[in-house]
Structure 1
Amino acid sequence: MRALAGAFGVTAIFTAAKLLRPSPPKSITFEQENLDNVVPVVFASEQTNANLALLGDKAFLFNQKANAFIMYGVEGRSWIAMGDPVGPKEEWPELIWRFREKCDIYDGRTVFYEIGREELHIYLDLGLTLIKLGEEGRVLLENFSLEGSSGKGLRHTVNRFEKDGCIFEIIPRENISACIPEFKTVSDAWLEKKNTREKGFSLGFFDEDYLNRFPAGVIRKEGKILGFTNIFMGAGIKKNSTRYGRRNIWRHRAVLPFR
């Protein structure tokens, strides 16, 4: 009887806790008005990954000046911010704390995915635990070369593509719309070959409006596009600059194998 009473007590406490827990938010919906406000902040940012905000699959938390934001999604109880805040760094601490408070209101777990290392102390002050996922690669363009043993693998790949008659081309943003049908063909073939569905959040997916916002790199053979990638550009990048490769190429669709 004592065990039964204990079991009833535990069940009552658990039920009360569930009832008192804040209700989760309704599913986050895409709002064009928010995206319109996001665009100028993205284009003013040196963070190339800020362009992920333009995918249209995230919600946004703005600061009071509306010149910085956090993009995020909700999965179960996890509130997942994509990267660091976008905007002036002096606005980051307030935004990060506001995001944490918003998560707490809904009893959500605060997650920041793929943050940089420059402002880690803010996240530590928030009481979050850091987990290293990888590193960001940068290429010093003025010293880059395919010569020597270090460039052997990439040099072999380039030579093979050139031997097969392939050329690489960068298509400016204003000409992208004419290439969308070929992009669609490549994208569908890629999804079928990989036996997968479209990605999202931290990865691109096929969307005409999204692709039309960026220039693209393509591989052609006999005039036909075999593969493409949209190109993210950060603010303040000088044309023909030979410094660090801040123009981040974001993998979107791999080149199809030759037959």
Structure 2
Amino acid sequence: MQQTLERAPLSRRTIARIVQVAGLFTVVTAVVPPRHGRMAEVVEFVPAAGVLSARAATIVVGLLLVYLGAGLRRGKRRAWQVAVGLTAASIVLHLVKSFDYDAAIVAGVLLVMLVATHDRFTAEADQRNRWRALSALAGFAAAGFVLGFVEIGIRVDHLVGSPGVVAWAQEAALGLVGLDGPVEFHRRFAAELVACTTGACGLLAAGVAMILLLRPGSRRPQTDGESEERLRRLLSRYGGNDSLGYFALRADKSLMWSPNHAAVVAYRVVNGVSLAAGDPIGPESAWPEAIGAWLGDATRHGWTPAVLGCGNAAGKAYRKAGLDVVELGDEAIVDTDVFSLDGRPMRGVRQAVNRMRRAGYTCRVVRQSDLSETDLDAAVRAADQFRDGPVERGFSMALSRLGDPRDAGCLLVLCSDAEGKLRGLLQFVPWGGSGLSLDLMRGDRTADNGLTELMVVAVLEAAPGLGVRRVSLNFAVLRSVFARAEELGAGPVLRVWHRLLKAASRRWQIESLYRANAKYLPTWSPRYLCFPTARDLPRIAVAALSAEAFLPTPRLRLRPAHKKRAHEPRSLETRAHETSTHETPAHENSSVGKPSRDKPSRDKRERAGA
């Protein structure tokens, strides 16, 4: 039976909001001056430095309570534990900073509520965050201790008496928690300066440690040899259902199988978002079980589930499981049986191809398994050379490797100039038994205009002889907006939306990528984004951008897999099929985001993957 997405209970959402409101209230109580006479009462029992430290700590606690709201909404057990600890600490801090009994009572009520609802927060935590938090706490605390110790040493002439270095160490250590030590200064300013330095470092250590402790968890790729072999068997039977199915073999994706291993969801956890891509692999009748297992795993860990670029049938399955679905754009699919360069609509492509052929450019269309090791090494070196910049982009619609013996069924298009020099290449992955899906596109930017068109036409013309009937080229983000805006009677809302996208296209070339796809006269197949609630979209967008390498993250260069050392991770290439989270990648097969950084020429800027 299909398991639907477990929505956060209303009571849990309410608790999270109450905690956030209480956090804001805590901050306000620390900023607002205390009632008349309260401070005088406090300083009789607590040193002035301790009162100031308590007020600063109260602000930090309040901000952390606000930060905890997201984790509490997702049922994070660790977020609940930290909230309980901070709330208990805030009771003491309210009393220390100004005998604020009202605020302390509010904090006490909040603490009772959290304890009473402990069973609603069961999501597992990432154990690695605990050690990161401890390292940060120790590091900042040590830095504060050293700074305080040095400051005392610099002002040794201002000390009362002759306290030894042990007393200095006690003063610096106690200052981290806002307390006075055994060292006394002739000047109050010197004492306050040491107290501020150590106290600030102590608060910084606690705050950073808490943030690291509450960071969204992640998961290392969990695909062993047996799982990959099982996945390849599924692809051999059901890979023709989705052009993105083969990309489930990426090294950085994990696999979530249905209980009977009849279907699987390929995903990756990025910043607390469990990000799946494409359709589940397997028979549609087994999809609900695989989707339910994936959603259940996300719920257990407090991750936000999201799906990038699924098709129509999968979109319905995910919606039935409880996710919302919106259209991202359309995939360009060319039927090779009817493709032809004849006719006026193909005039631009035909002229570009003829110009390149007259210039002596030729294309070789060959399976990877039929290439000699020398030719394959040359193709890998050329692909690396043609890429502009160190960043390798891709996740949802890219394989991120070239030359791996396991990908012997991939098709390569190698384009050489009149002198026999390799000037461009394409890689297509299998799409079932009779289809290809564009994965990588690279070209020499000094080559003549028309290089991309020549390579694409070469594979389309050779496809029938290879038994290929359909070729997936690029993805056009929000294609329907551009197409409908050109129709008679387009409404004002559509025209405004069209203007906004045209403005965005100046940076990301969204419109030009759509038009580049359209010139091959493809059939358009819609692709969708699935998500729990609109509130989660910002987090999902950041996670998708990170996965696709549009946010700064370390990436590796593309290397021939059969020459790698066993411990060497593969590079992450991009096929950029995606939507708002896709920039035209280095080998592109997409049409989102910024223009490709590997475009072979001016013409190729119009292609989603030049």
Q: CA RMSD in A?
A: 3.3
2:269 is the alignment partner of 1:167? no
Partner of 1:229: 426
2:369 is the alignment partner of 1:145? no
Task: Decide whether aligned partners of structure 1 residues 97 and 67 sit closer, same or farther in structure 2, where only a CA change above 3 A counts.
Answer: closer
Cα distance in 1 between the residues matched to 2:338 and 2:402: 36
Cα distance in 2 between the residues matched to 1:7 and 1:196: 51
Cα distance in 2 between the residues matched to 1:119 and 1:65: 19
Cα distance in 1 between the residues matched to 2:394 and 2:112: 41
Q: Which moved more, 1:52-61 or 1:62-71?
A: 62-71
Partner of 2:394: 200
Partner of 2:459: none
Query: Cα offset for 1:8?
Result: 7.3
Query: Cα offset for 1:100?
Result: 0.9
Q: Which moved more, 1:29-38 or 1:66-75?
A: 29-38
- Residue type at the aligned position of 2:432: A
Task: Decide whether aligned partners of structure 1 residues 187 and 12 sit closer, same or farther in structure 2, where only a CA change above 3 A counts.
Answer: farther
Conservation of the 8 A alpha-carbon contact between 1:232 and 1:248: no
Q: Gaps spanning 5+ residues in structure 2: where? A: 1-99, 127-217, 436-462, 475-574, 576-586, 589-597, 603-610
Find the residue that maps to 2:345 and give its secondary structure: helix
Find the residue that maps to 1:110 and give its secondary structure: strand
Q: Which moved more, 1:168-177 or 1:104-113?
A: 168-177
Match of 1:189 among 370, 380, 385: 385
- Residue type at the aligned position of 1:200: G
After TM superposition, the structure 1 = structure 2 runs for residues 43-192 of structure 1, keeping only pairs within 5 Å, are 43-44=236-237, 45-46=239-240, 47-176=242-371, 177-191=373-387
Find the residue that maps to 1:146 and give its secondary structure: coil
Conservation of the 8 A alpha-carbon contact between 1:139 and 1:244: no
Q: Which moved more, 1:116-125 or 1:210-219?
A: 210-219
Cα distance in 1 between the residues matched to 2:122 and 2:434: 51
Task: Decide whether aligned partners of structure 1 residues 108 and 12 sit closer, same or farther in structure 2, where only a CA change above 3 A counts.
Answer: farther
Conservation of the 8 A alpha-carbon contact between 1:171 and 1:217: yes
Match of 1:23 among 125, 142, 152: 125
Cα distance in 1 between the residues matched to 2:227 and 2:357: 44
- Residue type at the aligned position of 2:296: E
- Residue type at the aligned position of 2:356: F
Question: TM-score when scaled to structure 1?
Answer: 0.82
- Residue type at the aligned position of 1:92: W
Partner of 1:248: 472
Cα distance in 2 between the residues matched to 1:211 and 1:137: 23
What whole-Å deviation, never above 9, does each CA across 1:75-127 have from its counterpart, x for those lacking one? 01100111110111111112112211111111111111110012433222222
2:231 is the alignment partner of 1:35? no
Conservation of the 8 A alpha-carbon contact between 1:35 and 1:56: no
Q: Which moved more, 1:168-177 or 1:73-82?
A: 168-177
2:407 is the alignment partner of 1:214? no
What whole-Å deviation, never above 9, does each CA across 1:46-79 have from its counterpart, x for those lacking one? 1332111222221111234434211110001100
Cα distance in 2 between the residues matched to 1:157 and 1:211: 31
Q: Which moved more, 1:165-174 or 1:74-83?
A: 165-174
Find the residue that maps to 1:60 and give its secondary structure: strand
Find the residue that maps to 2:341 and give its secondary structure: coil
Structure with the largest fraction of helix: 2
Query: Cα offset for 1:135?
Result: 0.6
Q: Which moved more, 1:8-17 or 1:92-101?
A: 8-17
- Residue type at the aligned position of 2:403: E
- Residue type at the aligned position of 2:414: V
- Residue type at the aligned position of 2:225: Q
Aligned residues: 256
Conservation of the 8 A alpha-carbon contact between 1:186 and 1:256: no
- Residue type at the aligned position of 2:401: F
Conservation of the 8 A alpha-carbon contact between 1:184 and 1:206: no
Q: Please tell me whether Structure 1 or Structure 2 has the larger radius of gyration of its CA atoms.
A: 2
Find the residue that maps to 2:425 and give its secondary structure: strand
Find the residue that maps to 1:131 and give its secondary structure: strand
Task: Decide whether aligned partners of structure 1 residues 188 and 11 sit closer, same or farther in structure 2, where only a CA change above 3 A counts.
Answer: farther
Cα distance in 2 between the residues matched to 1:255 and 1:161: 16
Cα distance in 2 between the residues matched to 1:196 and 1:13: 51
Structure with the largest fraction of strand: 1
Query: Cα offset for 1:28?
Result: 2.9
- Residue type at the aligned position of 1:185: R
Cα distance in 2 between the residues matched to 1:158 and 1:240: 19
Conservation of the 8 A alpha-carbon contact between 1:114 and 1:133: yes
Conservation of the 8 A alpha-carbon contact between 1:233 and 1:248: no
Query: Cα offset for 1:133?
Result: 1.4
Conservation of the 8 A alpha-carbon contact between 1:231 and 1:249: no
Q: Which moved more, 1:53-62 or 1:175-184?
A: 175-184
Cα distance in 2 between the residues matched to 1:31 and 1:119: 26
Query: Cα offset for 1:181?
Result: 1.8
What whole-Å deviation, never above 9, does each CA across 1:218-256 have from its counterpart, x for those lacking one? 212233322222222333429837999424358537664
Conservation of the 8 A alpha-carbon contact between 2:234 and 2:281: yes
Question: TM-score when scaled to structure 2?
Answer: 0.38
Cα distance in 2 between the residues matched to 1:148 and 1:7: 76
